[in-house]
Amino acid sequence: MELVPGNTLITATPQEGRELALAMARKSVGAIQPDAEMRQAFRPGYAGSADSLTMAAQVVAIEFATIAAANGYWR
Amino acid sequence: MELVPGNTLITATPQEGRELALAMARKSVGAIQPDAEMRQAFRPGYAGSADSLTMAAQVVAIEFATIAAANGYWR
Amino acid sequence: MELVPGNTLITATPQEGRELALAMARKSVGAIQPDAEMRQAFRPGYAGSADSLTMAAQVVAIEFATIAAANGYWR
Amino acid sequence: MELVPGNTLITATPQEGRELALAMARKSVGAIQPDAEMRQAFRPGYAGSADSLTMAAQVVAIEFATIAAANGYWR
Amino acid sequence: MELVPGNTLITATPQEGRELALAMARKSVGAIQPDAEMRQAFRPGYAGSADSLTMAAQVVAIEFATIAAANGYWR
Amino acid sequence: MELVPGNTLITATPQEGRELALAMARKSVGAIQPDAEMRQAFRPGYAGSADSLTMAAQVVAIEFATIAAANGYWR
Nearest to E51 by CA among D50, F4, F50: F50
* pLDDT band of D68, cuts 50, 70, 90: very high
Summarize the confidence of residues D47-66 as an average pLDDT: 94
User: Number of H helices and number of E strands within chain E?
Assistant: 2, 0
Residue E62: is its pLDDT beyond 80? yes
* Chain D CB contacts of F44 below 8 Å: 31-34
C35-54: pLDDT as tens digits: 777 677 888 888 788 999 99
Check residue C8 and give left, alpha or beta (phi > 0: left; psi -120 to 50: alpha): beta
What is the rounded distance in angstroms from the CA atom of residue C38 to the CA atom of residue B65?
Answer: 25
The phi and psi torsions of C74 (rounded to 5 degrees) equal 55, 30
Q: Which residues of E touch C61 (CB under 8 A)?
A: 24-25, 28, 59, 62-63, 66
In this prediction the ipTM stands at: 0.96
Report the alpha-carbon distance of residue E45 to residue F7 in Å, rounded. 24
Cβ distance of F13 and D2 shorter than 8 Å = no
**How many angstroms from the chain centroid is the CA of residue F23?**
4
CB contacts < 8 A (B, C): 107
Q: Are E65 and F62 in contact (CB under 8 A)?
A: yes
Chain E touches chain F, with at least 3 Cβ pairs below 8 Å, answer yes
**pLDDT score at B73:** 98
D64 CB neighbour count, 10 Å cutoff: 28
Chain C nearest C-alpha distance from E11 (Å)? 11
Tens digits of residue pLDDT in A40-68: 788 888 878 899 999 999 999 999 999 99
- What pLDDT is recorded for position A31? 93
Share of chain C above pLDDT 70, in %: 99
- Give C1-40 pLDDT, tens digit per residue: 899 999 999 999 999 999 999 999 999 999 998 777 767 7
- Residue E35: is its pLDDT beyond 90? no
| CA A31 to chain centroid | 13
CA distances from D9 to C27, D63, D66 (A): 39, 10, 8
Binned at pLDDT 50, 70 and 90, residue C59 comes out as very high
What percentage of chain F has pLDDT greater than the value 90? 76
Q: Which residue has the higher pLDDT, F33 or B47?
A: F33
* A49: nearest CA partner in chain B: B38
CA distance A74 to A70: 9
Q: What is the mean pLDDT of residues F7-27?
A: 98
**Percent of chain E having pLDDT more than 70?**
99
| Residue that wins the pLDDT comparison between E9 and F43 | E9
Residue E65 banded pLDDT, cuts 50, 70, 90: very high
Chain F residues with CB-CB distance to D10 below 8 A = 73, 75
Q: Is there a contact between C60 and E28 if contact means CB atoms under 8 Å apart?
A: yes
Tell me the angle at which helices F14-32 and E50-70 cross, rounded to the nearest 10 degrees: 120
- What's the one-letter identity of residue F46? Y
Q: For the residues E66-71, what does the mean pLDDT come to?
A: 98
pLDDT at F34: 78
The pLDDT of residue B51 is 93
pLDDT at position B68 is 98
Mean pLDDT, residues F58-62 taken together: 98
pLDDT at D45: 81
- pLDDT range class, residue F41, cuts 50, 70, 90: confident
B vs C contact (3+ beta-carbon pairs below 8 A): yes
Question: Is E65's CB within 8 Å of C64's CB?
Answer: no
Distance from CA of E1 to the nearest CA of F (A): 22
| Predicted local distance difference test score (pLDDT) of residue F43 | 83
CB contact under 8 A, C38 and B48: yes
Calculate what percentage of chain F has a pLDDT beyond 70: 99
Average pLDDT value for residue range A22-48: 86
DSSP A11-58: -SSHHHHHHHHHHHHHHHHHHH---TTGGGTTSTT----HHHHHHHHH
Amino acid at residue number D25: A
Nearest Cα of chain A lies from the Cα of D10 at a distance, in angstroms, of 15
pLDDT (average), residues D55-75: 98
pLDDT digits (tens, 9 = 90+) for E43-55: 888 878 899 999 9
Burial of C75 (0-12, 13-18, 19+ CB in 10 A): exposed
For B10-67, the DSSP string reads --SSHHHHHHHHHHHHHHHHHHH---TTGGGTTSTT----HHHHHHHHHHHHHHHHHH
Taking an 8 Å cut-off on Cβ atoms, the answer to whether F48 and D33 are in contact is yes
Other beta carbons within 10 angstroms of residue A69's beta carbon come to 17
Confidence of residue F42 (pLDDT cuts 50, 70, 90): confident
- Smallest CA–CA distance from F2 into chain E, residue: E15
pLDDT for the residue numbered E16: 98
A-B C-beta contacts closer than 8 Å: 107
pLDDT (0 to 100) of residue E70: 98
Q: Residue C59 burial by CB count (10 A; 0-12/13-18/19+): exposed, middle or buried?
A: buried
Least confident of A17-21, B59-63, E19-23, F41-45: F41-45
Is B35 exposed, middle or buried (CB count within 10 Å of its CB: 0-12, 13-18, 19+)? Answer: exposed
> What's the pLDDT score for residue E46?
84
